[in-house]
Amino acid sequence: MLRPYTIKLGLPVANQFDVVILGGGPAGYVAAIRASQLGLTVAVVEREKLGGVCVNIGCIPTKALLHSAYIANLLKESKDFGVEVGSVKTDYGVAMKRSRKVSEQNSKGVEFLMKKHKVTVVKGSGLLQPGKKVKVGGDVYEAKKAVVIATGSRVKGIPQIGLEINKTTVISSDEALLMEKIPGSLAIVGAGAVGMEFADIFNAFGVKVTLIEALPRILPLEDAEASDALAKSYKKRGIEVIAGAKVTKATIAKDKVTLDVEAGGEKKAIAVEAVLMAAGRAVNTENIGLAECGIQVTDRGFIKVDKNLQTTTPGYYAIGDVAGPPMLAHKGSREGIFVAEGLAGQKPHAIKYDNVPSVTYCHPEVASIGLSEDQCKERKLDYVAGRFPFSANGRARGTGETEGFVKIIRDKKYGEILGAHIVGGHASEIIHELAVARENEYTVEEVELAIHAHPTMSEAVSEAALDSLGRVLHI
């Protein structure tokens, strides 16, 4: 294998860059592009494929599969719309292969972007070293300005109760995204965004799904009304939802898993062909050289960073999942831009961590930003909530997407948008109007003053804003 030739007398100048980024996922590669735009020389060290978890075994393939699921469900009702299909047959293998193609396309896209922006990509596993250096195999890469750690996260099991991922009967999203044959029955442990999305996908492909959540309601981080709406919707589709459930033991046989579950005072034994672990992700902070460089971690395991995202060792920064919650790709990307701009000598716009939209892409979609109603109550804020159901929206009626609602929580005194929650078709897109509003400190009045096109789902946003002001028009 050819390695870059280094002259023993002097420094290996070929391996010196302004910025060296460890990790080529959405945080790392975006930081690289931005830094390059600002005139810095950049190297990205990536041990697997560019695009990271998001592009390869996360966001991108799941959304492709979710669309296959959506089509499957849509076709089951297509007769009402005047389209006869006969019996709908699903083949997860084909859907999965398509999602792999989409991932590959995106990953190549990131490769292209790296070339376009003249970012050097180093394939291999990087080890942080003191003096702003990263060792990859036998080579050392030196950063003149900073090393940025963007190593991301991975799936994790709950070994304490016997739920260690074995990739056959106890699987993670990694296996779910690559399997060709799906089980007849599946228990999903964890009803956050990942659990909810896989429940949707597998249910649409004919699997008997049992969704188990330890906290009192599914989608525990979303507004309570959103959790209720999704629980009802899933029950209607035949997905068994057990919230407030504790898995006390898992017995793993050759092709069967029995879960002992305690919920609502009752004990149940659930037997399934496989279990999908969706109960959280672990950050990749082991064996990357943190201790040798004096970089500290918080007691929750994230890399400790200051408000500039610099770690406890000057010259080393951390972005993305490793730097802390929310563990979302777009938050990582924004942190990447922030650090790149800071390193280029600019004073970047401070990241508003309370204004990161959160989206779950199951059907109906759930999108939210800011505070939930319960959080407003906890903080004793003087608020008014405005609601508008999609069942009263013209566009939604036309497309048959009448499930869900828009809820906007406004501060009573000045109309500041404290939080917004959308459940329904296209929620993931509609939420952005409110993200822009909150970022610029618009109140509900300014949101409503912008004329919304008719007929659109977005009108529900305008109406919810009016409802919060006590003058809703269309209900």
Partner 1 sequence: MATKVHMEALSPTMEEGRLVKWNKKEGDAVKTGDTLAEVETDKAVMELVARADGQLIKVLVPEGTTVPVGNVVAYIGAPGEKVDGASSAAPAAQPSAPSAVRSAPEKAEDARIKASPLAKRMAKDAGVDLKLVQGSGPGGRVVKRDLEGAPAAAAVDVPRTGLPFEDVPLTQIRKTIAKRLAASIGPIPHFFLTTEVDMERAAEARDALNKQLGDQGKISFNDIVIKAVATALTKHRACNAWFQEDHIRYWNEVHIGMAVAVEDGLITPVIRDADRKSLTEIGTEARELAQRARNRRLKPEEYTGASFSVSNLGMFDIDQFTAVINPPEAGIIAVGSIVAKPVAEGSQVVVRRRLRLTMSCDHRVIDGATGAQFLKTLKQMLENPLAMLL
**Vertex 269 angle, CA 267 and 274, to 5°:** 140
For residue 388, the cross-strand partners are 406
Task: Give me the least distance between CB of 370 and partner 1, in Å please.
Answer: 13
Q: CB nearer to partner 1: give 25 or 415.
A: 415
Q: Which is nearer to partner 1, 235 or 471 (CB)?
A: 471
Please give the single-letter amino acid code of residue 421. H
Q: What is the dihedral of CA 289, 293, 295, 300, to 10 degrees?
A: 20
Closer residue to partner 1 in complex, CB, 219/339: 339
- Closer residue to partner 1 in complex, CB, 201/344: 344
d(CA 216, CA 153): 26
Nearer to partner 1, 168 or 346 (CB): 346
Name the residue nearer to partner 1 (CB basis): 61 or 415: 415
**Closest separation in Å from C-beta 36 to partner 1:** 14
Min dist. Cβ of residue 418 to partner 1 (A)? 11
Exactly one of 117, 421, 426, 454 is catalytic; name it. Answer: 454
As measured in angstroms, the least distance from the Cβ of 438 to partner 1 is: 10
Chain residues in the site for partner 1 (CB under 8 A): 344-347, 349, 413-416, 440-443, 445-446
Minimum CB separation from partner 1 for residue 443, in Å?
5
Residue 40: partners with Cβ closer than 8 Å, 6 or more residues away? 17, 18, 19, 145, 340, 343, 344
Kindly state the smallest distance separating residue 411's Cβ from partner 1, in Å.
9
Of 287 and 440, which has the nearer Cβ to partner 1? 440
- How far, in whole angstroms, is CA 309 from its chain's centroid? 20
User: CB of 24: closest distance to partner 1 in angstroms?
Assistant: 27
Nearer to partner 1, 348 or 455 (CB): 348
Taking each helix axis from N to C end, the angle separating 92-116 and 26-37, rounded to the nearest 10 degrees, works out to: 20
Provide, rounded to whole angstroms, the least separation between the CB of residue 440 and partner 1. Answer: 6
Nearer of residues 321 and 448 to partner 1, judged by Cβ: 448
Rounded CA-CA distance 219/102 in Å is 27
CB of 110 to partner 1, least distance (A): 25
Is residue 454 annotated as part of the catalytic site, yes or no? yes
> Residues with catalytic annotation?
454
